[in-house]
Chain A
Amino acid sequence: MRDHLELLLGVVLVTGPALGISPCSFDHGVALYRFCNLTQVPHIPPTMKILLLSFNSIRTITPTSFPFLEQLQLLELGTQFTPLTIEKEAFRNLPNLSILDLGRSQISFLHPDAFQGLPHLVELRLFYCGLSDTVLKGGYFRNLDSLAHLDLSKNQIGSLHLHPSFRELNALKSIDFSLNQVASVCERELKPLQGKVLSFFSLASNNLYSRISVDWSKCMNPFKNMVLDTLDVSDNGWAVDTMRNFSNAINGSEIFSLVLSHHIMGSGFGFHNLKDPDQSTFAGLARSSLIKLDLSHGFIFSLNVRLFETLTELKVLNLAHNKINKIVEGAFYGLDRLQVLNLSHNLLGELYNSNFNGLPRVAYVDLRKNHIGIIQDQTFKSLGSLKTLDLRDNALETIHIIPSIPTIYLGGNKLVKLSHISLVADIIHLAENRLENLADLYFLLQVPHLQILILNQNRLSSCSPSPAPAESLSLEQLFLGENMLQLAWETGFCWDVFKGLPHLQFLYLNNNHLSFLPPGVFSGLAALRELYLNFNRLTSLSPGDLPAQLEFLDVSWNQLLAPDPAVFASLRAVDLRHNQFICACELSAFISWLNHTNATLRGAPADRYCMFPEAFAGVPLDSISTDGCDEEKAFQALKWSLFISVTVMLTLVLVTSLGAAKFRGVCFMCYKRAQRLLFGVSPQRLELDRYKYDAYLCFSSKDFEWVQSALLVRLDTQYSDQNRFSLCFEERDFVPGENHVVNIQDAVWSSRKIVCLVSRHFLRDGWCLEAFSYAQSRCLADLRSALIVVVVGSLSQYQLMKHRPLQGFIQKQQYLRWPEDMQDVEWFLNKLSREILKKEKKQKRGSSIPLQTVATIS
């Protein structure tokens, strides 16, 4: 009932504004009148269940203050700004009230019958109301049959003389007298409570028994015949003697949980005037069946021998926030059933083998926030049932003493390097250490049965050349945030660190300065569901980077510029906030994915914004339009085709130019050979016609050597069977003894063509020029050009023009030049051959029969 109401109250307080109840009004059974400057109770309909009237200035509550509110369950009248007067039966009209809260109101007058007529009141809050002893003595709580919780803390109650009517409060469960001024409590004062079973009884912060000296023989046992679940006597300034006396006094009362925090027992650090608790201090609690003892926030410096010997039932012992530096051997003797031992926030500097002797059933030892720098080998060996060891925030530099227990917390130590011991554990917490080498990670991954490994805030940054690949079939969660994996990975090693983790489900790699992901680094993570890469410096992700089964990816606070949406295609949820998106056309695929994806996008859309260009800085991605970005793809294709076509064209130009320059002779020969092969044109003798010779070669006799090697060998049939022309030249075919002129004339007229090889020698040779004249005259006679002039050597136009016989021809007719480049010779000879043959064919084809006649006549 109470819990439900508190929940309800909480819901109302938190969600009040959200429900839409405006202040100083009511709705849905709740009347909210806080801070409304009311001086009296407002008018509300009778259906209200909750009435909240705190923070007003109501001065008086009379029976008529409230209308009849049958359904009202919670009334909050606390914190009135003016003194409050509560008249007789003031709450008479609220018959079903469960909770009445008058806390923090200065009650100037409280009528003894003020709470009468509230048979269903469960909880009454009267804290900080300035009430004095009379509230207990005066029988104010008569007839509150349902009252279970009475809060009288922070008042000015000096003694606990309870009115006999307390005996009738059968439902009473908890009474809170904390922060009063109760100097002492004795048996007769609490007599009305005898025989009751209370779940909570607080006398904390009362300076109880510490201001005055108590005669315990008179005072007797204040909790006689009472059963207390929790007795809170903390913050009363109890020293060892007070505690011993108290524990002796309450001997026999059943108290399951004794809260004694904020005591002053113990000598503290650096003092010796006060005693540490000893064997006798808690001896009186032997018959109290104490299960939980809270001794935190004290000054205990040394745990003396057999200190808790009598507390055989104890299961939870809290010694946190003391100054414990010394655990005497046998200090825990007798705690046979202890399960939880909390020694956190003490001054332990080292642990010895004997420290934890006599704790056979301890499952959880909390040693956080000590200064433990060294632990003796066998320290934890005696703790046979140990399951969890919390050594966080100590000064350990080595872990070789760590036993194989399921859960090990070693965060916040000074571990730089792990000694590779054989270890079995389910959970290992090593955050905030100084681990540097990934070899330690490889070692930890090989711990059998390990399910959760926490390595946040270390310095993992270096990689030994080739550690054996780690394999763990049990690991499910791996926390590697806030390390420096980038440094390790950028050396190119340790890319296989996650290769053998087939059951890993959660991987945290946040804050690792990662600027790239090694290719295939996650490829072995077949079961990975969530990957945290936030707060890194990743600028891009490749589709192959992520494992296939991944469901959630956190890449917020990275530097992704234009991610490929294919990366996120298979994810169910992704966090992409605070990246440096470049709002250019390259991002259009990503934006359209963002607008159409079914995946959950964590975070507000305003946190996914552009960073560049400046005009778009800070603009959310979902307000960016990607129209007009389709042409980008076309441009890529255009670039590719331009590249190919231009390259091919340039190569062709280069190859053909160079080929033509350097290999045209070879090409021509190949062409000729191919022609011969294909068409079977073999050099055959020309059919004989009326000419004796095919051509008359006219050249200076000084050039004979050259002519022979250059022309005759290639053309004349007598030089080679391959040749097809019968040539006439002076040295062979002129009749010796005959007149030279006649010879020349014969040669000219009996040859089909006259080939004059004009060289410098030719020009100087009178006979040659003579022969040229005859040839020219034959041309005139035939009316066709039988003369072929081949200029040999570097004779330029003007040098030829000098010679009168040649002038006319050179100017009007075409002439051939002997090629300078040797590779052109073949081609030239071919051309010359065609020239020799050309006109004949024309004639056959041709029209000029008269010319034939002329020839016959001559």
Chain B
Amino acid sequence: MEAEPPLYPVVGAPGPQGAEDPLGVPDGLEAPLDELVGAYPNYNEEEEERRYYRRKRLGVLKNVLAASAGGALTYGVYLGLLQMQLILHYDETYREVKYGNMGLPDIDSKMLMGINMTPIAALLYTPVLIRFFGTKWMMFLAVGIYALFVSTNYWERYYTLVPAAVTLGMAIVPLWASMGNYITRMAQKYYEYVHYKEQEEQGPRQRPPRGSHAPYLLVFQAIFYSFFHLSFACAQLPMIYFLNHYLYDLNHTLSSVKNCGTNSHGILSGFNKTVLRMLPQSRNLIVVESVLMAVAFLAMLLVLGLCGAAYRPTEEIDLRSVGWGNIFQLPFKHVRDFRLRHLVPFFIYSGFEVLFACTGLALGYGVCSMGLENLASLLVAYSLGASAASALGLLGLWLPRSVPLVAGAGLHLLLTLGLFFWAPVPKSLQHSWILYSAVALWGVGSALNKTGLSSEYRMGTG
């Protein structure tokens, strides 16, 4: 039904700028008191217009911040929960005592498969979902699904975890696609609100020149990625405040680990099967899960309440005019663009470098030499490094856009080479500063890579 052409052409000549924000500025409330009383002779239209657009711009900024914070909280809760549960489930004793004959490792592997495999199919339905729900509501729905996943961890059974994981897997791509779309759209709107004068002169129907919103996009993406990378730090909070009290120290967990880093075969071979000094009580688990649940719910409310709509209903008609048949081709449309084709290796690399940071680097080097109790601080270092370095994405304002991308890759290459020749001593805290700086530097590289890649991509697809 949305596909029909507009029944009512918009009356008059609506400017591209509109009062579309239902939660934004209610009419007449901000008007100063003296203006309410009687007529006012010297009505300064210019001033009012400026104020109006300033409010609009602030609204856009608020949207960006809310969306970034919501995404970061959601992802942080999800990662934190997953990390905590995987460590708990890794412990043989915990597994056997709490879930004797439930086959928890099997469930965990199925769950991870559900989370990681389902997104492959997401190319097919993501445009359909975004088209049907709209950008903001897709974001809200996906964040809600993350929250549902968190809630199933109250009752860990096969029939709760696996369906929740599959659903979560289905929501991952739409979430980040709509999130990216939202940020891009906000940059476009910000550009429009800044250049309202030119808009009026050029004529309302005129689209802004392609790529004109690039500087704003860079800034917004820097904001977004700062928040996003903070989510890795948020994810460590359950470990820092809860799980670390229950963990054995490195002398126990690493007792049979012989080699680390480049010398080791596989990740953490010989790691002790038991890592828990004592089993966490149900009471504490419930408290931790409830806190996570509350944060996930808060993220939902953030997206629901503070994120304005990305498009006005009349604008979204543009998107809707894409036919249902063509919409399946939408993800592949970009492949026709040769510039974007060059980015494909970077996309793959971008996925694997985070994977490497979280497993190879953090586990194979970090945990292997410093023990599981230091995993949280290592990942916090990564997160803070990445979050701070997301600001480096702003370099794109002055330098060619490809510079951050190449710089990130180069940094990673150097680090990889360095790590390739280094095998930290197991059960030793001597080299902790090297590890912390390596992890933080890797975070810097990640941030450069992410910001560079997404700005390239968003510019490419416009």
Using CB atoms and an 8 Å cutoff, list the residues of chain A in contact with chain B.
539-540, 542, 561-562, 564, 582, 584-586, 612-615, 631-632, 635-636, 638-640, 642-643, 646-647, 650-651, 653-654, 657-658, 661-662, 703, 705-706, 709-710, 757, 759-762, 792-798, 801-802, 804, 807-808, 810-812, 818, 820-822, 825
Contacts and interface: CB of A to CB of B under 8 A. Distances in A.
B321 interface: no
B190 to A, nearest CB: 17
A764 B9 CA distance: 19
5 contacts: A585-B281, A614-B277, A640-B154, A646-B154, A709-B7
B279 A613 contact: yes
Nearest to B40: A807
Nearest to A616: B278
A811 B314 contact: no
Contact of B17 (A585, A651, A794): A794
B154 A821 contact: no
B225 interface: no
Interface string B16-27: 011110000101
- Max chain B Cβ within 10 angstroms of own Cβ: one of A647, A706, A808: A647
B31 interface: yes
B154 A662 contact: no
Nearest to A757: B11
A814 to B, nearest CB: 9
Contact of B148 (A632, A650, A812): A650
Contact of A639 (B8, B45, B155): B155
A54 B141 CA distance: 96
Given A561-B93, A651-B148, A812-B36, A760 B282 contact: no
Contacts of A646: 151, 154, 293
B220 interface: no
Nearest to A790: B11
Given A612-B93, A794-B17, A797-B25, 19 more contacts: A561-B100, A564-B100, A582-B96, A582-B279, A613-B277, A613-B279, A639-B154, A640-B155, A642-B286, A650-B300, A654-B144, A661-B137, A662-B134, A761-B11, A793-B13, A796-B19, A801-B48, A804-B39, A812-B36
A746 B289 CA distance: 70
Contact of B279 (A540, A584, A615, A647): A584
A820 B313 contact: yes
B160 interface: yes
Nearest to B274: A612
B12 A793 contact: yes
Interface residues on B, range: 35 or more
Contact of B140 (A636, A658, A759, A760): A658
Nearest to B132: A662
Nearest to A762: B12
B245 to A, nearest CB: 13
A643 B313 contact: no
Contacts of A658: 133, 137, 140-141
Top 8 A-B pairs ranked by shortest CB distance? A760-B12, A794-B18, A798-B48, A643-B154, A643-B155, A635-B282, A759-B12, A540-B100
Contacts of B394: none
A821 B147 CA distance: 29
B15 interface: yes
A797 B313 contact: no
Interface string B127-167: 00000111001001100100110011011000010000000
A802 B98 CA distance: 71
Interface of A (DSSP majority class): helix
A613 B282 contact: no
Contacts of A582: 93, 96-97, 279
A706 B96 contact: no
B100 A539 contact: yes
- Max chain B Cβ within 10 angstroms of own Cβ: one of A586, A650, A706: A650
A670 to B, nearest CB: 15
Given A584-B97, A653-B144, A807 B314 contact: no
A761 B12 CA distance: 6
A710 B8 contact: yes
Contacts of A796: 17-19, 52
Contacts of A584: 97, 278-279
Interface in B81-120: 93, 96-98, 100-101
B290 interface: yes
Given A642-B154, A643-B154, A650 B297 contact: yes
B205 interface: no
B152 to A, nearest CB: 7
B334 interface: no
Contacts of A647: 148, 151-152
Contacts of B8: 706, 709-710, 822, 825
Nearest to B148: A650
Nearest to B283: A635
A662 B316 CA distance: 13
A562 B411 CA distance: 51
Given A584-B97, A653-B144, A822-B7, A798 B151 contact: no
Nearest to A703: B11
A798 B196 CA distance: 14
A654 B52 CA distance: 33
Contacts of B51: 798
Nearest to A803: B43
Nearest to A655: B144
A657 B279 CA distance: 40
Contact of A636 (B25, B35, B38, B282): B282
B49 A539 contact: no
Contact of B300 (A653, A794, A802, A818): A653
Contacts of A586: 97-98
- Max chain A Cβ within 10 angstroms of own Cβ: one of B28, B286, B314: B28
B10 interface: yes
Interface string B413-451: 000000000000000000000000000000000000000
B14 interface: yes
A858 B282 CA distance: 81
- Max chain A Cβ within 10 angstroms of own Cβ: one of B8, B43, B49, B312: B8
B105 to A, nearest CB: 13
A712 to B, nearest CB: 12
A643 B157 CA distance: 11
Contacts of B160: 643
B286 A639 contact: yes
B378 interface: no
A650 B28 contact: no
Interface in B311-332: 312-314
Given A586-B98, A657-B304, A797-B28, A760 B147 contact: no
Interface string B186-216: 0000000000000000000000000000000
Contacts of A762: 12
Interface string B258-282: 0000000000000000100111011
Given A561-B97, A642-B286, A759 B11 contact: yes
B144 A540 contact: no
Contacts of B17: 794, 796
Contacts of B7: 709-710, 822
Contacts of A540: 96, 100-101
Interface in B52-105: 52, 93, 96-98, 100-101
A183 B163 CA distance: 95
B304 A703 contact: no
B45 A798 contact: yes
Nearest to A761: B12
Contacts of B283: 631, 635
B152 A802 contact: no
Contact of A635 (B133, B134, B286): B286
A662 B20 CA distance: 16
Nearest to A709: B8
Contacts of A804: 39
Contacts of B132: 662
A799 B136 CA distance: 28
Interface string B292-316: 0100010010001000000011100
